[in-house]
Amino acid sequence: MKLVSFNVFRTLGLAADSRFQVSYIKPQEFARSPALSRPVLESADWILFPEYWQFSALACGLDCQVFPSQNTYLFGHDKIETTRVCQLMYPHNIPETLIAANTPEEAARIWEEMSLPFIAKLPKASQGEGVWLISNRQDWLDYLSRTDRLYVQEYLPIDRDLRIVLVGEDIIATYWRHQSDRSFHTNVSRGGQVSYSDIPESAVALVRDMARTLKINHAGFDVAMVGNHPYLLEFNRLFGNQGIPGGGKTIDKAMSCYLQTHTDHHRPLNPRRPRPQRCA
């Protein structure tokens, strides 16, 4: 099976698998001369991990099969996209969230509506960066100086959250991330501690349903539990392997299985390509 990857780091394990022929193209090379890359792209069974700005050209222009999926890219583009679809589809499973342009009028409205403390985020930050606990007026003013879009959420009474990792159609890891001693962040990259016991089934069931309904196939979901009720905080299309038992090898195995079993059989099959086989 022929694969073209735009992300060497995330596909090293596939390159070591004899079932795949992996070619690499740097996103900047594609940007400079997309036409030169076209023959390689058109002959591939799958295009892996392009940048967001490449997706339409590859999936819509060349009709390539792209992993992760189109919906994963769309809904995982930033926190605002994730929140909008969840407010529509899962209104009882998302914290109270206000989104607005950063204008004096909207900033004043949100300040009046939100109860202290509350959480303020940058829409495109990850790994705990760009997340602040707003406890007073000065915290709010500092946040306003950092963003042109306002994204705030109610503060949930938690000291840990869940990371639930999905690759393809399989949940490959579930674990708690306990708050760091240094801050309210739970991210492992920010000092959060990991544990694997007593994972609530309601959180896992929510993620399974979201992934199936929204057609998401590669994401790290962050879920908070308030009592027995799960709340989706966000999901990240690209995630680290810290905390995942087996690390990158676990991800590679799930991704390999998905790619082998989900090649689009309705597209004309290049006779030079081996026919995909069911994953053992």
Query: Domain containing 146 — which CATH number?
Result: 3.30.1490.20
Residues 169 and 150 in one domain: no
Residues 14 and 59 in one domain: yes
Residues 134 and 165 in one domain: no
Of 134, 154, 174, at which residue does a domain stop?
Answer: 154
Q: What is the residue range of 168's domain?
A: 74-79+158-244
Residues 238 and 175 in one domain: yes
* Single-letter residue type at 107: A
Cα gap 85→105, rounded to integer Å: 25
Residues 126 and 187 in one domain: no
Residues 223 and 166 in one domain: yes
Q: Is residue 127 part of a domain?
A: yes
Q: Are 226 and 244 in contact, with CB atoms under 8 Å apart?
A: no
At 150 the three-state DSSP class reads: strand
Q: Is residue 88 part of a domain?
A: no
Residues 132 and 109 in one domain: yes
Residues 125 and 186 in one domain: no
Residue 53 DSSP class? G
Class of residue 205 by CB neighbours under 10 A (exposed 0-12, middle 13-18, buried 19+):
exposed
How many folded domains does the chain comprise?
Answer: 3
Cα gap 90→232, rounded to integer Å: 9
Class of residue 47 by CB neighbours under 10 A (exposed 0-12, middle 13-18, buried 19+):
buried
Residues 149 and 111 in one domain: yes
Which CATH number characterizes residue 177's domain? 3.30.470.20
* Per-residue model confidence (pLDDT) at position 125: 76
One digit per residue, the tens of pLDDT, for the chain of length 280 reads 999 999 999 999 999 999 999 999 999 999 999 999 999 999 999 999 999 999 999 999 999 999 999 999 999 999 999 999 999 999 999 999 999 999 999 999 999 999 999 999 999 876 667 999 999 999 999 999 999 999 999 999 999 999 999 999 999 999 999 987 665 666 665 567 899 999 999 999 999 999 999 999 999 999 999 999 999 999 999 999 989 999 999 999 999 999 999 986 445 444 434 444 555 5
Strands (E), 55-159: 66-67, 97-101, 118-121, 131-134, 149-154
Residues 133 and 166 in one domain: no
Q: Is residue 279 part of a domain?
A: no
Residues 163 and 230 in one domain: yes
Residues 149 and 162 in one domain: no
Give ∠ CA 134-137-138 in degrees, rounded to 5.
85
CB-based contacts of 86, cutoff 8 Å, min separation 6: 93, 94, 210, 232
Q: Is residue 271 part of a domain?
A: no
Give ∠ CA 148-153-159 in degrees, rounded to 5.
130
At 158 the three-state DSSP class reads: coil
Distance between alpha carbon 153 and the CA centroid of its chain, in Å?
19
